């Protein structure tokens, strides 16, 4: 039995550790769009005489491999991908949050262990890179390999795209991987989870709900501001507001200026309209008031976090669209926008009536949508279809849709509105009809008294206007942008103005539309790159609520 291999894959490897003639990689073998799910991989696997290892799905498109005690397991991110129909495994160790502080953990640079795998019935075989082959290839050829010698081992320094190309070129080379180790599934009845399907006979959404109270976002119970402000009306008295980055503190904390402030990447507010016209607010995040607060929607990885661009109710389930946000490589010092959008995930909550920190969340990757070619904007549920407005490089707005009755099925394709003004199957970016040339959209709602669709456009960086468009049909023709509000926080001469403020993400709360007065209720966010300004001014980084006369 190859005990050494098991110990190797179940060890956390660092550049400071001595290698035993192994080949590892500085960079991952995959980008987010490459990761694939293999349902049959889930379960417990064992080698005779050695403790079992557990492989379970985590997040949207990867797994956690664990072994050891339940109280203190060794944990690895396990990402599978295909290169020319061959399945590969990328393993990377996970640091527990309880090990030192963030500064200490960031001083370690982890590497990636790469394997070729084969699955047959209840047997999983792992083939490790053959050190002798890589050594001879390097010594005997004018090798294109990019690598460094580290102790006794070889550290590949290929960038991800170069690494994939190298393995694709060597795909049929039987000498590249050897030393197979067989793992036996300890549960012969282990089966992959089937995709849940929506009952398409009735489409229940929140589009017809009307509320009279005005949203409020007071600092209380440790919540001290957030952005994103996605609203989902549940009934005539209750709305969920789902935030992205959120400042949280201790239970009795009164302001941002006090010690204890931390940020979670998303949180939820449950707003309830009271009979007297007031609003009651309860805030939620995980591990509330602990040393390690966590967001409601966890990515379970340090590769990216989740922000929330859209959310909606459909067939008694809550669906939340999540942006996968990672660091921006080579960002300038003190860059305001030091992040990059990596892709999208769809979260389904089957118990939305529960407290948000008790939600049962199922994550599904959306590999068909990847920035910058297809960035998802507003949504509409109409006549048995779910529509996404999609941006290309934040300029061309196009429209895609999927039938509600197969919305949960990743095998069922999307359709797009094509240049010939018809709906075609697939997502052919080059054949999509451009409905709008302009900045991305945040909300699109139908206003029957106008017989028009109303689109709220996102605020361009450093602009001071909120704009909208209208159209008689989803497919257009859409009007030019119309200025509907001048933002005081970014307009010089206004008492609310602060230099270097910037605003973004205006959204119409359709549940608060006043049909008698024809007034829209809109929330938007105010931010500033200077944290001292944010901390000192509670009106910054707290959702702003305004009303707009809709003519």
What pLDDT, in 10s, does the model give residues 340-377?
999 999 999 999 999 999 999 999 999 888 766 678 99
What are residue 348's DSSP bridge partners?
319, 362
> Residue 18: pLDDT above 70?
no
Distance CA 529, CA 71 (A): 40
Q: What is the pTM (predicted TM-score) of this model? A: 0.88
What pLDDT, in 10s, does the model give residues 87-97?
999 999 998 87
Angle at 511 (CA atoms; ends 509, 516), nearest 5 degrees: 105
Angle at 102 (CA atoms; ends 100, 105), nearest 5 degrees: 65
What pLDDT, in 10s, does the model give residues 140-157?
876 678 999 987 789 999
Distance CA 173, CA 175 (A): 5
The residues near 422 (Cβ < 8 Å, ≥ 6 apart) are none
- What's the confidence (pLDDT) of residue 143? 66
Which of 34-48, 109-123, 351-365, 366-380 is the least confident region?
366-380
Distance CA 477, CA 456 (A): 15
> Residue 35: pLDDT above 90?
yes
Distance CA 364, CA 392 (A): 23
DSSP 388-457: EEEEETTTEEEEEEEEGGGTT-TTSPPEEEBTTSSEEES--GGGB---EESS-EEEEEEETTTTEEEEEE
SS (H, E, C) 295-363: CCCCCCCCCCEEEEEEEEEECCEEEEEEEEEEECCCCCCCCCCCEEEEEEEEEEECCCCCCHHHCCEEE
> Residue 290: pLDDT above 90?
yes
Residue 433 in tokens: 């009809």
What pLDDT, in 10s, does the model give residues 472-507?
999 999 999 999 999 999 999 999 999 999 999 999
């Amino acid at each position: 039995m190859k005990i050494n291999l098991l110990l190797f894959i179940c060890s956390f490897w660092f550049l400071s550790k001595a290698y035993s003639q192994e080949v590892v990689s500085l960079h991952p073998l995959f980008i987010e769009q490459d990761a694939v799910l293999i349902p049959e991989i889930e379960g417990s696997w064992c080698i005779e005489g050695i403790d079992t290892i557990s492989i379970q799905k985590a997040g949207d498109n990867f797994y956690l491999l664990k072994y050891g005690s339940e109280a203190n397991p060794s944990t690895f991110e396990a990402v599978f991908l295909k290169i020319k129909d061959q399945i590969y495994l990328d393993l990377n160790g996970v640091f527990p949050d309880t090990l030192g502080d963030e500064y200490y953990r960031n001083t370690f640079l982890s590497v990636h262990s790469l394997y070729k795998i084969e699955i047959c019935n209840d047997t999983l075989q792992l083939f490790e890179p053959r050190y002798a082959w890589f050594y001879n290839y390097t010594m005997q050829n004018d090798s294109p390999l990019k690598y460094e010698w580290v102790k006794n081992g070889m550290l590949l320094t290929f960038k991800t795209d170069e690494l994939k190309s190298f393995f694709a070129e060597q795909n049929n080379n039987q000498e590249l991987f050897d030393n197979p180790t067989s793992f036996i599934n300890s549960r012969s009845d282990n089966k992959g989870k089937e995709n849940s399907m929506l009952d398409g006979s009735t489409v229940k959404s929140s589009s017809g709900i009307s509320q009279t109270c005005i949203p409020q976002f007071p600092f209380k119970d440790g919540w001290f501001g957030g952005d994103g402000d996605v609203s989902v009306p549940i009934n005539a008295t209750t709305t969920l507001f789902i935030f992205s980055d959120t400042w949280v503190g201790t239970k009795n904390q009164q302001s941002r200026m006090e010690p204890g402030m931390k940020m979670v990447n998303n949180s939820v507010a449950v707003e309830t309209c009271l009979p007297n016209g007031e609003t009651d607010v309860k805030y939620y995040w995980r591990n509330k008031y602990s040393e390690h607060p966590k967001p409601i929607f966890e990515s379970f990885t340090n590769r990216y976090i989740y922000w929330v661009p859209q959310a909606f109710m459909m067939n008694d389930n809550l669906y939340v669209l999540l942006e996968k946000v990672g660091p921006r490589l080579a960002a300038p010092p003190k860059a305001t926008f030091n992040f990059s959008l990596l892709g999208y995930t769809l979260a389904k909550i089957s118990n939305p009536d529960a407290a948000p920190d008790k939600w049962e969340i199922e994550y599904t990757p959306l590999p068909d949508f990847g920035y910058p070619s297809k960035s998802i904007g507003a949504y509409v549920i109409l006549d048995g279809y779910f529509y996404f407005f999609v941006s290309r490089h934040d300029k061309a707005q196009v429209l895609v849709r999927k039938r509600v009755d197969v919305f949960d099925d990743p095998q069922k394709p999307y359709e797009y509105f094509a240049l010939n003004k018809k709906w075609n199957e697939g997502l052919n970016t080059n054949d999509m009809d451009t409905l709008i040339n302009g900045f991305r959209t945040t909300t699109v709602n139908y206003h029957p008294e106008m017989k028009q669709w109303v689109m709220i456009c996102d605020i361009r960086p450093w602009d001071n206007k909120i704009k909208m468009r209208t159209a008689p049909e989803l497919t257009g023709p859409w009007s030019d942008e119309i200025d509907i509000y001048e933002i005081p926080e970014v307009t010089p001469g206004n008492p609310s103005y602060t230099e270097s403020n910037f605003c973004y993400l205006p959204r119409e709360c359709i549940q608060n539309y006043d049909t008698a007065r024809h007034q829209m209720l809109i929330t938007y966010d105010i931010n500033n790159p200077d944290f001292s300004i944010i901390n000192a001014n509670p009106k910054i980084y707290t959702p702003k609520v305004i009303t707009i006369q809709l003519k």
